[in-house]
Amino acid sequence: MQTIKSIATLLAEGKISSVELCQDYLARIAAHNPNLNAFVTVDAERTLAEARAADARRAAGQANLLTGVPIAHKDIFCAEGWLTTCGSKMLANFVSPYDAHVISQFKAAGMPTLGKTNMDEFAMGSSTETSYYGPTKNPWDVARVPGGSSGGSAAAVAARIAPAATGTDTGGSIRQPAALCGITGLKPTYGVVSRYGMIAFASSLDQGGPMATTAEDCALLLNVMAGFDARDSTSLERNQEDYARDLNKPLTGLRIGLPKEFFGAGLTGDTATAVQAAIEQFSKLGATTVEVSLPNSGLSVAAYYVIAPAEASSNLSRFDGVRYGYRTPDYADLTDMYEKSRAEGFGAEVKRRIMIGTYVLSHGYYDAYYLQAQKLRRLIANDFAQAYQQCDVILGPTAPTTAFKLGEKADDPVEMYLSDIYTIAVNLAGLPGMSLPCGFDRQGLPIGLQLIGDYFAEVRMLNVAHQYQLVTDWHQRTPGGF
Amino acid sequence: MSLSIDDVNRIAHLARIRVSGDEAVQYQGQLNGIFDLIAQMQAVDTAGVAPMAHARDLFQRLRADVVTEPNRREAFQSVAPQVADGLYLVPKVIE
């Protein structure tokens, strides 16, 4: 396993160049991507040009810690000159004319782009099966899904065809695929990472974050991604912090909250056993546990499937076949053009969510749905505030099951939505959450452990995860054949 | 609550998404399944609870009313389906 930390050391010592590294990863992508479909766009010439620039920068003595380390980007991030499809036919020919803030941050750090990774269409899904470009396969078992929506990023990191990747998380889209692919992923506090140039799904919930093999790598990547950006009106004006600063702090005295609602009847079998073993590991590291309660968390899926579609129906109204994106070839008038372009350009799941959102915001239904969901959102956030009076971090499973089979839940939207039952409340409250590997089920599929922190507790969470990874090797396991 | 086919067609039109007769039937079943899930919400008494519109109750930042972006019309129009003389072309809407 090559961490970006170890790659950065090799680059600093002059033992390898960025061009050699990128060539190596591009060769691995060429060998494995036909099987995995983790990347939707690879542009070797562009990647190598960026690698040459990184090597020149290092030769000139201008390198930062991660200069020359390649990274893959979820295809939701606009990157100038790169095809940016968001997993949709709607944007099949959209070559972005500008960079997302996250992309410009990685460019400023001198990190070459390895390619754009596959995802559920407009990030709506939990399996990467709603992508117009076909599903991504889980490297641990190619008959299974990698989770979603950042499934391409998760599969690429798990298969070691990218050392790290970006993802976005609206209801679990970083954490759930990280869990199902056996990697580490972090969704920061809402507002820490700019949403500028990140194609919008549900604006009050969307947040970008890092996906990598270790918590330490996530900390280094978050150092690059985080920061105030005036172009995102919800970007937080905070002082820059070093997310890696407390990685080596001992966990003595750490208070871990265990929400009783996460350890109920829904949590069974190997996932329950692995999470329990992780709790014992933390006890050995000096942490204490306390039972906490999130009484309204059971309502989070219902509230989410009002709020997220409502915001999506508004955000996706911009895809009208006029300024960018798909336009139907054959139309009679303007309304006909809108209706056919959107019917042909969007896939079934996106259309379902736009229709739900349109309905809950329509005349006469606003109070019963949208307003009620916003009130539940307050109750859910209050539950967390209450819990953090008793503990420093909350721990539980990331997902109710390990990776499921391709097609298993594709025809049942509600069944698919329940994949995010443990992750959604975190987005509604705007809290940081992460997933890290904590074991395998009897079929050899990875199990994810979720850590949820209070607002701006990323440093503490990364410390907790890193200390766990120092005494366990789940995160080092690599799927066979990769 | 249960959506009728007429409801589905009305929503689809509001959303500017064309649906065929067969699709409307399919959406009717799926949307009703999703609304059954959402219906759990209605059992909760939320009297006196302030709605939470946004994580962390952020306020909107204001900026000075000055030009901050350069004119990149050509770059932005290069991705448009149909343009002419710097204008976006759409079907005629005014006779």
Taking the model in full, what pTM does it have?
0.97
Q: Identify the closest residue of chain B to A311 by CA–CA distance.
A: B53
Residue A173 token pair = 């889209």
- Residues with Cβ < 8 Å from B22, sequence gap 6 or more? none
Interface mutation target, options A307, A375, A382, A456, chain B, most CBs of B under 10 Å: A375
Q: Quote the pLDDT of residue A443.
A: 96
The CA distances from residue B64 to A235, A361, B61, B67, B68, in Å, are 17, 32, 10, 9, 10
Residue A199 token pair = 């194609």
Q: Quote the pLDDT of residue A143.
A: 98
Domain edges within chain A: 4-253+433-476
Low-confidence ranges of chain A (pLDDT < 50): none
pLDDT (tens digit, 9 = 90+) per residue, A217-274? 999 999 999 999 999 989 999 999 999 999 999 999 999 999 999 998 778 799 999 9
Q: Identify the closest residue of chain B to A380 by CA–CA distance.
A: B52
The kind and range of the H/E element at A468 are: helix A458-471
Q: Quote the pLDDT of residue A1.
A: 67
CB A91 within 8 A of CB A116: no
Q: Quote the pLDDT of residue A288.
A: 98
Interface mutation target, options A83, A238, A301, A358, chain B, most CBs of B under 10 Å: A358
Q: Do A351 and B76 touch (CB under 8 A)?
A: no
- Residues with Cβ < 8 Å from B32, sequence gap 6 or more? B2, B3
Which member of B7, B13, B53 has the closest CB to residue A204? B53
Q: Do A374 and B51 touch (CB under 8 A)?
A: yes
Strands A393-397 and A255-259 turn out to be parallel
Domain edges within chain B: 5-43
Q: Which fold has domain A4-253+433-476?
A: Amidase signature (AS) enzymes (3.90.1300)
Contact pairs from chain A to chain B, CB under 8 Å? 164
Q: Do B51 and A303 touch (CB under 8 A)?
A: no
Interface mutation target, options A355, A363, A384, chain B, most CBs of B under 10 Å: A355
As a CATH number, domain B5-43 is 1.10.20
Active site residues of A: 74, 149, 173
Q: Quote the pLDDT of residue B68.
A: 87
* Residue B94 to chain A, least CA–CA distance (Å): 11
* Residue A32 to chain B, least CA–CA distance (Å): 32
Q: Identify the closest residue of chain B to A338 by CA–CA distance.
A: B16
- Residues with Cβ < 8 Å from A82, sequence gap 6 or more? A41, A43, A46, A95, A96, A113, A116
Judging contacts by C-beta atoms under 8 Å, the chain B residues touching residue A327 are 81-82
Judging contacts by C-beta atoms under 8 Å, the chain A residues touching residue B75 are 97-98
Quote the ipTM score.
0.95
Task: Summarize chain A as % helix, strand, coil (round to 5).
Answer: 40, 15, 45
Alpha carbon A197 to its chain's center: 16
* Residue B32 to chain A, least CA–CA distance (Å): 10
Judging contacts by C-beta atoms under 8 Å, the chain B residues touching residue A94 are 79
Q: Quote the pLDDT of residue B94.
A: 83
pLDDT (tens digit, 9 = 90+) per residue, B23-82? 999 999 999 999 999 999 999 999 999 999 887 766 677 888 999 889 999 999 999 999
Which member of A298, A351, A375 has the closest CB to residue B49? A375
